[in-house]
Amino acid sequence: MATMTLAKALNAGLRRALEADPKVLLAGEDIGKLGGVFRITEHLQRDFGPDRVIDSPLAESGILGTAVGLAMRGYRPVVEIQFDGFVYPAYDQIVSQVSRLYYRTHGHLKMPIVIRIPYGGGIGAIEHHSESPEAYFAHTPGLKVVTCSNPLDAYWMMQQAIASNNPIVFFEPKRRYHEKGEVDTEIEPMPLFQARVVKPGDDLTLITYGPMVRTCVEAALAAGEEGHNIEVIDLRSLAPLDMPTVIESVTKTGRAIVVHEAAMTLGMGSEIAARLQQACFYSLEAPVLRVTGYDIPYPPSRVESAYLPDLDRVLDAVDRSMAY
Amino acid sequence: MSEPAVDDFVQLLTPDGERVQHPDFSFEGSDETIAGYLREMILARRFDSEATALQRKGELGLWPPALGQEAAQVGSASATRLPDYVFPSYREHAIALHLGVDPVEMLSTFRGTAMAPWANDIPGMHVYSFVIGTQTLHAVGYAMGLQRDGLVGNADPDANGAAMVYFGDGATSQGDVNEAFIFAASYTAPVVFFCQNNQWAISEPIALQSKIPLYRRASGFGFPGVRVDGNDVLAVHAVTSWALDRARRGKGPALIEAYTYRMGAHTTSDDPTKYRSNDETEHWRQRDPISRVQTYLQNRGAIDQVWLDAVDAECEELAVRVREGCLTLREPTLEEFFEHTVIDPGEVLLEQRDEYLEYEAGFADHPDADADDETHVQVQEAF
């Protein structure tokens, strides 16, 4: 058991994956000598060499397109997109090729590619450095989409994603990179595509993922002081969704709020709300609510705190749901 | 780092401040004009160092310094005039200043009080682009528009215009940049591709992006390419004037590789000591774009200490204005950004905005979040 930051846990997970399988390769801009702009790959090129930890030319489409070819040769590329807002030049390769080659070849060709993307806001960044594009990828058949919220998951989910034969978009909550937690490197981790009940409760279910998990736990504790016993679910996997865990919870509590940073319209909350009204129609005591970013491009940093869901906005929704 | 061959390196003013001849390019401007460039470069450098200092004090979220690239920027921007139109990347501060951007307003983007509204009032320049290389295609399209508007190839040279787009060595790896080269060549578009090769794309050296000098790529796309000493403001001006003139006359695109150096970090978030040597930085310090012009003009007797003191006083004035102005930049509200998300926002977005306003208005009555700190401790244990 060790205490480490989420960033260090990702680094440790990548290191262990590189050790476990010589076919694992890392590629991305500035990931070598610099160790990535967030230092997630720090010292990995030093220790595993430039053939396995590859500094890519500055071209995201190139990074993903060459990952396809490497995967065809039996390699397991783990690519880093430097910031969420820079994934779009690679979007065509991801949605037209990476996600589909298994389908196009009738199950012959596997694409064991992990696409790491630091995402989300709250770090005072300039444009294109605070986005939450997960729904674009969760919407794409053939892709798995996961996101960690704490160091333990970061460590284990990264290794599980790399070991998976599916293409996986792995979203890393960059504003939580420096938060510390206990990481047990000896346990049997829970399945990758399974949601986790972070905090049990009976009155209402907060359904969230990534950077908002901590915010929701804080909100649940604050609501507890007002006598509301809130359950918090960390989805961990956005595609596929672990609906049994969510449905079990909402059937019990009768109230659900989905919380994410991404814009509301056609975000993860839309899908979850639709599924809940279908699966839990007779259990619901209130409409499923969403607390999300607004349907505008991510704003300049001086107003990002007004854009991002925070403890107060979650509590406001809790009040509305409980009062319904 | 080995220095690539500089076989076609156009230089008119050496690092020691000596004028030299080149068979194809010359600078005809007066000493007064050159002194004007020097003044602009000194002011741009001061602005840059003030902005860096403001970031260090937490007043800006980020700053990408242009330190060392002043000659490439002033030399090229000074070759433009309307209806030319410039597409910058995000490090083109000296260009923005040359074209009339207010330095304090420019900081709003990096302070996070605005997107980039300061570029809207400048007739010859587009907003900064932060996605690498994306603006090259926009410049080609703009040039195609100039063609269709009859602003290319007229007998009266003053009636003609061209687009000029700035990008870095790293950007040349992007698909968009290569597509821009192809579109420009196919349509003989009046566009100048101005690549500031500052040797580094964050931590990645130019050798990772290109095995040949970048300017030679142009020939593969079917238009001329020239490498110029990017730290020589006279050579940059001469080469850019040639390329712009050619484009305006309808002769099509050209690629300029301004061979320069990023003396500072990629941005204030970057630590270049992790990936490059002091020797290299020192090598380039000897080729500083400003000192050679100052030496030249002083040797000519064109400027003296009084002149330098006056520019220094101007720098102090600029510094005070920037420092004070930054702190008084207007703080926006989120509501404003709902206003320019889309024309005719529709009911769903308007409802969202109204819900936001209602929520904000009710906040004064909301039980305040005194419990935050205490909750934080509990979360550490629970999570």
Q: Which of residues 36-55 of A touch B (CB under 8 A)?
A: 37, 55
Is residue B182 within 8 A of residue B212, CB to CB? The reply is no
Instruction: Select the residue from B54, B57, B60, B337 to test the A interface by mutation, using most A Cβ atoms within 10 A.
Output: B337
pLDDT for position A238: 98
Element (H, E) at A69: helix A60-72
Residues 6+ apart with CB under 8 A from B112: A124, A126, A300, A301, A302, A303, A304, B61
Looking at A153, A183, A213, the residue that finishes a domain is A183
Q: What residues of B are in contact with residue A85 (Cβ under 8 Å)?
A: 130-131
pLDDT of A22-65, one tens digit each? 999 999 999 999 999 999 999 999 999 999 999 999 999 999 99
* Residue whose C-alpha is closest to residue A250's, from A233, A262, A268: A233
> Do A252 and A148 share a structural domain?
no
Q: Which residue of A has its CA nearest to B171?
A: A58
* B170 & B288 share domain: yes
Residues A301 and A217 in one domain: yes
In a domain, B42, yes or no: yes
Count the neighbouring beta carbons within 10 Å of the beta carbon of residue B4.
Answer: 18
Does residue A240 sit at the B interface (CB-CB below 8 Å)? no
- CB neighbours of B287 closer than 8 A, spacing ≥ 6? B15, B231, B261
CB contact under 8 Å between B349 and A296, yes or no, is yes
Pair (B149, B267) in one structural domain:
yes
Asked if residue A305 belongs to a domain, the reply is: yes
Provide, as residue numbers in chain B, all residues whose Cβ is less than 8 Å from the Cβ of A306.
333-334, 356, 360
Question: Given A34, A181, A218, which is nearest B375 (Cβ)?
Answer: A218
- Domains of chain A: total: 2
Same domain? B69 vs B90: yes
8 Å CB contact of A302 and B331: yes
Mean pLDDT of A181-210: 98
The predicted structure's pLDDT at residue B374: 46
Would you say residue A139 has pLDDT above 50?
yes
Q: B217 and B273: one domain?
A: yes
pLDDT bin (cut points 50, 70, 90) of residue A116 is: very high
Give the pLDDT confidence score for residue B364 in this predicted structure. 65
If we measure between CA atoms, which residue out of B203, B62, B155 comes closest to residue A126?
B62
Q: Is position A108 within any domain?
A: yes
Judge whether A58 is closer than 8 Å to chain B, CB to CB. Answer: yes
What is the greatest pairwise CA distance in chain B? 77
Please tell me whether residues A88 and A31 are part of one structural domain. yes
In this structure, are B250 and B348 located in the same domain?
no
Based on the domain organization, do A100 and A77 belong to the same domain?
Answer: yes
For residues B137 and B258, state if they share a domain.
yes
Pair (B283, B341) in one structural domain = no
Please name the amino acid found at residue B295.
T
Domain match, A160 and A62 both: yes
The rounded distance, in Å, linking the Cα atoms of A273 and A276 is 5
Q: What CATH number did the domain enclosing A23 receive?
A: 3.40.50.970
* Nearest-by-Cβ selection for B383 from A29, A33, A217: A217
A197 in contact with chain B, both atoms CB, cutoff 8 A: no
| Domain-embedded: residue A191 | no
DSSP letters for A96-134: IIITTHHHHTTT------EEEEEE---S---TTSS---H
Interchain CB contact of A16 with B (< 8 Å):
no
Residue B177, in any domain of the structure: yes
Using the 8-state DSSP alphabet, how is residue B13 labeled?
A: B
- Name the minimum distance, in Å, from the CA of B337 to any CA of chain A: 7
Closest-CA distance, A106 to chain B, in angstroms, reads 30
Do A239 and A148 fall within a single domain?
A: no
Min distance B237 CA to chain A CA atoms (Å): 28
DSSP string, A19-30: HH-TTEEEEETT
Closest to A303 (Cβ–Cβ): which among B132, B334, B383?
B334
Asked if A126 and A227 sit in the same domain, the reply is: no
A296 contacts B376? CB cut-off 8 A: no
Nearest CA in chain A to B108: A300
Q: Does a structural domain hold residue B167? A: yes
Nearest Cα residue in chain A from B332 = A303
Cβ burial of B328 (10 Å; 0-12, 13-18, 19+) is exposed
How many CB atoms are located within 10 Å of the residue B29 CB?
14
In chain A, what residues touch B352 (CB-CB under 8 Å)? 264, 294-295
A57 vs B contacts (CB less than 8 Å) = 170, 173, 204, 208-209
- At B121 the pLDDT is 87
Q: B63 and B110 in contact (C-beta within 8 Å)?
A: yes
| Residue of A32, A217, A265 lying closest to B379 (CB–CB) | A217
A129 is catalytic: yes
Q: What is the mean pLDDT of chain A?
A: 98
Contact B352 A294 (CB under 8 A): yes
Q: What is the mean pLDDT of each run of 10 residues along chain B (383 residues)?
A: 58 97 97 98 98 97 97 98 98 97 97 92 95 98 98 96 98 98 98 97 95 97 98 98 98 98 94 94 96 98 98 98 98 95 95 95 62 46 45
pLDDT value at A150 more than 80:
yes
Q: Which residues pair with B165 in a beta bridge?
A: B87, B193
> Could you tell me the residue range of the domain that residue A213 belongs to?
196-323
Identity of the residue in A214, A222, A265 whose CB atom sits nearest the CB atom of B348 = A265
Nearest to B127 by CA among B111, B114, B143, B146: B114
- Rounded to the nearest angstrom, the minimum Cα separation between A281 and chain B is 25
Q: What distance in Å separates the CA atoms of residue A55 and residue A77, rounded to the nearest whole number?
A: 13
Query: In CATH, what number is assigned to the domain containing residue A200?
Result: 3.40.50.920
Q: What is the pLDDT of residues A160-194, one digit of tens each?
A: 999 999 999 999 999 999 999 999 999 999 999 99
**Residues for chain A: how many in total?**
324
- The residues, any chain, with a CB within 8 Å of residue B73's CB and separated by 6 or more, are B44, B66, B92, B93, B94, B95, B98, B196
Residues A173 and A37 in one domain: yes
Please tell me whether residues A93 and A36 are part of one structural domain: yes
Could you say which residues from 88 to 107 on chain A have a Cβ atom under 8 Å away from some Cβ of chain B? 88-89
**Cβ of B113 and A300 within 8 Å?**
yes
DSSP reduced 3-state for B64: coil
Tell me how close the Cα of B129 comes to any Cα of chain A, in angstroms. 9
Same domain, B235 and B369: no
Domain membership flag for residue A37 = yes
Residue B2 placed within a domain: no
B4 in a domain, yes or no? no
In-domain check, residue B302: yes
What percent of chain A lies above the pLDDT cut of 90? 100
Q: Is the same domain home to B321 and B339?
A: no
CA distance A138 to A146: 9
How many Cβ pairs within 8 Å bridge chains A and B? 139
Check residue A179 and give its pLDDT: 98
Same domain, B312 and B225: yes
The single-letter code of the amino acid at A234 is: D
Using pLDDT thresholds of 50, 70 and 90, give the confidence band for residue A319: very high
Query: From the CA atom positions of chain A, what is the Rg in Å?
Result: 19
Angle at the Cα of B321 (from B330 to B34), degrees rounded to 5? 125
Q: Residue B159 maps to which CATH number?
A: 3.40.50.970
ipTM of the complex: 0.94
Classify residue A189: in a domain, yes or no: no
Residue tagged 């060549």 (tokens): B185
Q: Are the Cβ atoms of A297 and B337 closer than 8 angstroms?
A: yes
Q: Which residues of chain B make contact with A217, given a CB cutoff of 8 A?
A: 379, 382-383
A280 occurs within a structural domain: yes
Higher pLDDT pick, A96 / B366: A96
Spell out a b/e string for B331-358, using b for 16 or more CB atoms within 10 Å of the CB, else e: ebebeebbeeeeeebeeebeebbeebee
Q: Are residues A305 and A226 in the same domain?
A: yes
What residues make up the domain containing B113? 9-327
Q: Cβ B274–A33 below 8 Å, yes or no?
A: yes
Segment holding A206, helix H or strand E: strand A204-208
Tell whether A115 and A45 lie within a shared domain.
yes
Question: Residue A247 — φ and ψ, nearest 5°?
Answer: -65, -40
Residues 6+ apart with CB under 8 A from B118: B101, B102, B105, B106, B108, B109
How many domains would you assign to chain B?
Answer: 2
> Is there a contact between B204 and A124 if contact means CB atoms under 8 Å apart?
no
Residue A188 lies in a domain: no
Q: Which of A30, A199, A316 sits opposite B202 (nearest CB)?
A: A30
Verify that B347 and B312 share a domain, yes or no. Answer: no
Kindly state whether residues A122 and A57 are assigned to the same domain: yes
- Is-cis flag, bond preceding B23, omega within 30? no
Phi then psi dihedrals of residue A61, to 5 deg? -60, -40
Does residue A308 lie in a domain region?
yes
User: Among the three residues A121, A152, A183, which one is the final residue of a domain in this structure?
Assistant: A183
State the pTM of this model. 0.95
The single residue of A43, A106, A129, A139 carrying the catalytic annotation is A129
Q: Name the 3-class secondary structure at B245.
A: helix
Rg, chain B, Cα only: 23
In this complex, do A30 and B110 lie within 8 Å of one another by their Cβ atoms?
Answer: no
**Contact in structure between B129 and B135 (CB atoms under 8 Å):** yes
